[in-house]
Amino acid sequence: MKTIGLLGGMSWESTANYYAAINRGIQQQLGGLHSAKIVMVSVDFAEVERLQSAACWSEAGQLLARAAQQVEAAGAECLLICTNTMHKVAEQVEQAIRIPLLHIAHATGQILTAQNITRIGLLGTRFTMEQDFYRERLERQFGITVSIPEQTERDAVHRIIYEELCLGNVRERSRSTYLRIIEHLAERGAQGVILGCTEIAMLVTPQHTHVPLFDTAAIHAQAAVEFALQRDE
């Protein structure tokens, strides 16, 4: 079994879900008392969020690159950045390490393609929804058209992530807001909706809506399980 590297803490709430999902995945595959071999460095999200808000992406990339090097030095054989938004600096992180980076949007694109999805809705932070680092990968590499909510809806999605979900607060009123937005995306032709922030699955799950949901944290964790168990050629 290969050792999985996690770059977490963004937020720790979703990182805890990653840890649980990866270990469950390994146990399901191998049975018994098996669990994943994991190395993790967890950063202080307050420092990262401050750089996000100030649009200091290069500095944020440097912070994550240093943390990624610590993960590699501890023996990890791959790296997962356990957040969608900070994949904006994925290339900067990737250049700082020698182990492969498993990109969350790439793993998601593979799942969407396997299910013949050609038009998808995207929820996430304002950065993920409005900037092209995430959407462009899905559109260019997988030919998937990505739809995002209207401006006022994006504002609500972003606020709920940072003011509630990243603090572990799950509120019924916010769930209702998200479900309305998901329905609007489906009405505009989306065949499903990407939960493109790793905390969103705390709020909405498939039991809440008829619209197919794609939980990127779960998809990313499964990609890590597959990497850990793949045989060397």
Q: What is the pLDDT of residue 198?
A: 87
CA distance to 22, 81, 184, 195, 216, per residue, from 104 (Å): 14, 8, 25, 12, 7
Compute the distance between CA of residue 41 and CA of residue 46 in angstroms, rounded to an integer: 15
Query: Cα 213 to the chain's mean position, in Å?
Result: 13
197 catalytic residue (yes or no) = yes
Q: Helix 45-53 crosses helix 57-73 at what angle (to 10 degrees)?
A: 150
pLDDT digit string, tens, across residues 185-224: 999 999 999 999 889 999 999 999 999 999 999 999 999 9
The Cα–Cα gap between 97 and 65 comes to: 8
Q: Please tell me which residue in 78, 82, 166, 197 is annotated as part of the active site.
A: 197
Range 66-93 average pLDDT: 96
Q: Return the residue matching tokens 């498993």.
A: 102
Average pLDDT rounded to a whole number, residues 158-176: 94
114-125 burial code (b ≥16 CB/10 A, e <16): eeebeebbbbbb
| Residue 181, C-beta contacts closer than 8 angstroms, at least 6 positions apart | 123, 149, 153, 156, 157
Dihedral sign from CA coordinates of 144, 149, 154, 156: negative
Q: Length of the chain, please?
A: 233
Catalytic residue selected from 15, 82, 83, 125: 83
When pLDDT is cut at 50, 70 and 90, the band that residue 233 belongs to is low
Local confidence band at 79 (pLDDT 50, 70, 90 cut-offs): very high
Q: Is the pLDDT of residue 121 over 60?
A: yes
| Strand (E) or helix (H) holding 195 | strand 193-195
Give dist(CA 186, CA 119) in Å, integer.
10
The two tokens of residue 103 are 């990109």
The mean pLDDT value of the chain amounts to 95
State residue 96's pLDDT score: 97
User: What pTM was estimated for this model as a whole?
Assistant: 0.91
Whether residue 68 is predicted with pLDDT greater than 70 in this model: the reply is yes
